[in-house]
């Protein structure tokens, strides 16, 4: 089996990645978190005791 010349395949791969990045540029650049992360207030969090169904 003859060895393929990697030069045109590399160019095809590179151009396909550039094309995909141009197509999805707005999705990539506008991807932000929908909500800012918040820290839980541990003092206000009141847990109820566990109720076991077999007890």
CA 31 – CA 4 distance, rounded (Å): 39
Helix (H) or strand (E) run with residue 11 in it: helix 6-23
- List pLDDT tens digits, range 15-29: 999 998 888 887 777
Of 30, 37, 15, residue with least CA distance to 7: 15
Q: What is the pLDDT of residue 28?
A: 72
Sketch the domain layout of the chain as residue ranges. 1-30
CB-based contact 28:21 (threshold 8 Å): yes
Q: What is the pLDDT of residue 47?
A: 72
pTM value is: 0.40
Could you identify the residue written with the tokens 């590179």?
14
């Amino acid at each position: 089996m003859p060895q393929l010349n990697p030069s045109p395949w590399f160019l095809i791969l590179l151009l396909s990645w550039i094309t995909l990045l141009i197509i999805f540029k707005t999705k990539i650049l506008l991807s932000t978190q929908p909500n800012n992360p918040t820290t839980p207030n541990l003092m206000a969090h009141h847990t109820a005791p566990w109720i076991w169904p077999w007890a």
